[in-house]
Amino acid sequence: MAIRALLGAFRDRSITSRISSNYRLLSTLVLAEHEGGSVKASSVSAVEAAKYLSEDNSVSILLAGSGPSLQEAAEHAASCHPSVSQVLTSDSDKLTYPLAEPWARLVHLVQQKGNYSHIIAASGSFGKNILPRAAALLDVSPITDVTEISGSNQFIRPIYAGNALCTVKYTGSNPCMLTIRSTSFPVAPSDNARSSAAPILQVDLSTFGEDEMGKSRYIRQSSQDTERPDLGNARVVVTGGRGLKNAENFKMIEKLAEKLGAAVGATRAAVDAGFVPNELQVGQTGKIVAPELYIAFGVSGAIQHLAGMRDSKVIVAVNKDSDAPIFQVADYGLVGDLFEVIPELLQKLPEKK
């Protein structure tokens, strides 16, 4: 009897230990970008994606930087999404600027302590710069540009400039590291809050020495002061292509965007011709946008351009060539000369208040 009880206890114990060694609570770390004391909307979308990979709202946000703006951003992060369970802040002058080398070291450090099952960043220049380096330090393969999460280790991402979708199964070790397309994980305004703020914790940086800084050095950042919405998150985007012919004519697109409260986009041909800076480029090698309304003037609709805007809710195209491929994805198409259409629109649209 005693032997049977002992064997039973032993069996139960072995089951328990098997469970505890195989079962891992899913918990996700989001690398968040912040600016002016707020977490960027694309990083809030990364939290939205993380909720599908985390049990019981166990999403941690990692923020780094220095000074009061980091603290403000941490407070914003703590209540930016109901799935946030904690905010980890790393306040150091070594992390003031988002240089990939120290940030990747930071992610490595935080992962060693937190043992997260997943690490996610939005698929912008910030995430694309840091996440692959951090993945190399952690010796795992990252999966980029995820547009759908169909399981804790199964993801969908576009390939061939968005002409096909690929299902990727992650079979590597922890953590599984992803960049997500923020346009595929929109955050509804009602979701965009927590009833009470999540705790804010400091990351222990005592082991973070000069060596972690790597070889890159911050020189300067230049950004344009504009009242226009950010291209990546705008509700309306007005885009101009090579059909505008020169930089002077492109100003019509800017005026129209101003009247509509829209962001300005451009094709690569327009950027390469010097009409506008390359931060306005939409497409495979530019920004990925999915606004409620996308209006394209003088854009042919090359696959590399479509890769960046085909998920827009309503697409309007104006082109003088009725066979232009843009009309195949447009909800409303107007075959006409943009030099007649845009001035008419500018005249008929009221001034923005």
Ligand X SMILES: Cc1cc2nc3c(=O)[nH]c(=O)nc-3n(C[C@H](O)[C@H](O)[C@H](O)COP(=O)(O)OP(=O)(O)OC[C@H]3O[C@@H](n4cnc5c(N)ncnc54)[C@H](O)[C@@H]3O)c2cc1C
Span interacting with ligand X, options 10-18, 46-54, 120-128, 275-283, rule CB under 6 A: 275-283
CB of 253 to ligand X, least distance (A): 12
Should residue 181 be labelled a site residue for ligand X when binding is judged by CB under 6 A?
Answer: no
> What angle in degrees, to the nearest 10, is found between the helix axes of 100-114 and 125-138?
50
Residues 6+ apart with CB under 8 A from 135: 141, 142, 177
Should residue 281 be labelled a site residue for ligand X when binding is judged by CB under 6 A?
Answer: yes
Q: Can you tell me which of 337, 343, 344, 349 binds ligand X, judged by CB under 6 A?
A: 337
CB of 187 to ligand X, least distance (A): 25
CB 186 within 8 A of CB 180: no
Should residue 333 be labelled a site residue for ligand X when binding is judged by CB under 6 A?
Answer: no
CB of 303 to ligand X, least distance (A): 7
Q: Report the residue number whose CB is nearest to ligand X.
A: 283
> Residue 199 or 277: which CB sits closer to ligand X?
277
Report the C-alpha gap between 190 and 192 in whole angstroms: 5
Pick the closest to residue 340 from 298, 280, 294, 291 (CA basis). 298
Should residue 94 be labelled a site residue for ligand X when binding is judged by CB under 6 A?
Answer: no
CB of 285 to ligand X, least distance (A): 4
Report the C-alpha gap between 165 and 311 in whole angstroms: 13
Should residue 319 be labelled a site residue for ligand X when binding is judged by CB under 6 A?
Answer: yes
Q: Can you tell me which of 60, 90, 284, 312 binds ligand X, judged by CB under 6 A?
A: 284
SS3 226: coil
Report the C-alpha gap between 225 and 29 in whole angstroms: 32
Should residue 124 be labelled a site residue for ligand X when binding is judged by CB under 6 A?
Answer: no
Site string (285-314) toward ligand X, x via CB under 6 A: xx-----------xxx-x-xx--x------
CB 240 within 8 A of CB 214: no
Q: Can you tell me which of 128, 194, 228, 320 binds ligand X, judged by CB under 6 A?
A: 320
Number of residues that bind ligand X (CB under 6 A): 28
Burial class (CB in 10 A: 0-12, 13-18, 19+), 262: buried
What does each C-alpha distance from 5 to 9, 19, 157 come to in angstroms?
Answer: 6, 21, 53
Should residue 255 be labelled a site residue for ligand X when binding is judged by CB under 6 A?
Answer: no
Structure tokens given for 99:
């240089």
Q: Can you tell me which of 27, 60, 182, 267 binds ligand X, judged by CB under 6 A?
A: 267
Positions in the binding site for ligand X (CB under 6 A): 241-243, 267-270, 281-286, 298-300, 302, 304-305, 308, 318-321, 324, 337-339
